[in-house]
Amino acid sequence: MDVSVIIVNYNTKELTRNCIDSVFAQTSGVTFEVILVDNASTDGSVELFEKDKRIRFIESGGNLGFGKANNLGYQHAAGKYLFLLNSDTLLLNNAIKEFFLQMEQRDEPIACMGCLLVDANCQSIHSYGNFMTLRNEMIRKPLFYLHKYFSVKEGFDDNPLRQIDDHCFEVEYVTGADIFMPKSVADRLGLFDPDFFMYYEESEMQYRYRKNGYINVIVDTPQVQHLIGGSEKSSRSLWKRSDLPSMMLCCRKLYGSRRASCLKWLMVAAYTPLAILDVRYPLRERWAFLSKLCKL
């Protein structure tokens, strides 16, 4: 088996079905399997996918979150490579074969490979990033909040580390929407840290890989569309939609509790005026958001 495609589904039946259909429609020239892990969906996903003979369907037994569910899929994988694919993505070309060929032809010690993602309008979107630092997060988080909820330009870009050749450049981490990697790397160093429920698990994992001598890269031959936010639930509270708990957890793991404490209070200072001004949410919910942030 060349590639094990692992997809996690949580109440995204139509998105997941379209994603799986695109995998089978676009992929040729490699042997592959699709492993779908369902996190206790209640939207009819189980009834639909347990009948799909093309895939290996695994019920997790609960909402494990992104990382643990991928880890569960990995335990059943038989491929030489793993392709961790978001349920809200579509393959636009023979992306799996392109990833496979790039990995097979390169001599660099590559842990994770991604591509230049596009959105529903085929415009380039966030595909890679830099590991967190206190400075970066102080700039990035408030700008992201302003961009997401008030349509203010983010104005903060991550830069590649180096150009390897015309089709490939090195980055600190590849976003979790599409991660192609040798299974041997996961066998040696583990996949996602199970302490993370959602968000920042891909950057912690790839930080760990880089510390052990691997690099992470972006290649431009695969084409993948990411329908950003398609797998998120807009009905969730302000706190549950936030990635701040995972950010703090990642900071503690990467840099220790002292820096994490410093980052927390910087975030409190930055988010207090934003939360006060965000009248789209009830005052009680905004107060709860700040209170929970102080307790991280």
Tell me what pLDDT residue 276 has: 78
CB neighbours of residue 226 within 10 Å: 22
The H or E element spanning position 148 is helix 134-150
Rounded to whole angstroms, the Cα distance separating 6 from 67 reads 11
Q: Which of 69-83, 210-224, 271-285 has the lowest mean pLDDT?
A: 271-285
Rounded to whole angstroms, the Cα distance separating 166 from 199 reads 31
Percent of the chain's residues with pLDDT above 70: 89
Mean pLDDT, the chain, rounded, equals: 89
Tell me what pLDDT residue 170 has: 97
Rounded to whole angstroms, the Cα distance separating 261 from 196 reads 18
Burial class (CB in 10 A: 0-12, 13-18, 19+), 177: buried
Judge whether residue 169 has pLDDT over 90: yes
Place of tokens 């992104």: 66
CB neighbours of residue 153 within 10 Å: 8
Tell me what pLDDT residue 26 has: 98
CA 133 to centroid of chain Cα atoms: 19
Contact 177, 224 (CB under 8 A): yes
**Among candidate residues 9, 68, 2, 19, the one with its CA nearest the CA of residue 39:** 9
| Average pLDDT of the residues in 135-164 | 65
Place of tokens 């942030």: 293
* Higher-scoring residue by pLDDT: 73, 276: 73
- What is the SS3 string spanning 150-207? HCCCCCCCCCCCEEEECCEEEECEECCCEEEEEHHHHHHHCCCCCCCCCCCHHHHHHH
Q: How confident is the model at residue 275 (pLDDT cuts 50, 70, 90)?
A: confident
**Among candidate residues 154, 149, 186, the one with its CA nearest the CA of residue 280:** 149
Tell me what pLDDT residue 159 has: 79
Judge whether residue 147 has pLDDT over 70: no
Judge whether residue 209 has pLDDT over 90: yes
Q: Which of 5-19, 45-59, 245-259, 274-288 has the lowest mean pLDDT?
A: 274-288
Tell me what pLDDT residue 247 has: 87
* Higher-scoring residue by pLDDT: 247, 76: 76
| Average pLDDT of the residues in 232-238 | 55
Tell me what pLDDT residue 113 has: 98
Judge whether residue 81 has pLDDT over 80: yes
Burial class (CB in 10 A: 0-12, 13-18, 19+), 217: buried
* Higher-scoring residue by pLDDT: 118, 266: 118
Judge whether residue 39 has pLDDT over 60: yes
Q: How confident is the model at residue 111 (pLDDT cuts 50, 70, 90)?
A: very high
| Bridge partners, 216 (sequence order) | 112, 171
CATH numbers and ranges of domains, the chain: 3-131+172-226 (3.90.550.10), 244-294 (no CATH)
Supply the angle between the helices 95-105 and 13-26 in degrees, to the nearest 10: 60
Using CA atoms in the order 181, 183, 188, 189, what is the torsion angle rounded to 10 degrees? 40
Tell me what pLDDT residue 265 has: 86
Q: How confident is the model at residue 59 (pLDDT cuts 50, 70, 90)?
A: very high
pTM: 0.88
pLDDT per residue as tens digits for the range 250-263: 999 998 998 888 88
Tell me what pLDDT residue 270 has: 76
Place of tokens 């990697």: 181
Residue 237 has which token pair? Answer: 């509270």
Contact 40, 9 (CB under 8 A): no
Tell me what pLDDT residue 201 has: 96
Rounded to whole angstroms, the Cα distance separating 213 from 259 reads 25
Tell me what pLDDT residue 283 has: 83
Q: Which residues contact 247 (CB under 8 A, 6 or more apart)?
A: 132, 137, 141, 199, 200, 263
Q: Which residues contact 234 (CB under 8 A, 6 or more apart)?
A: none
**Among candidate residues 167, 157, 247, the one with its CA nearest the CA of residue 199:** 247
Judge whether residue 191 has pLDDT over 90: yes
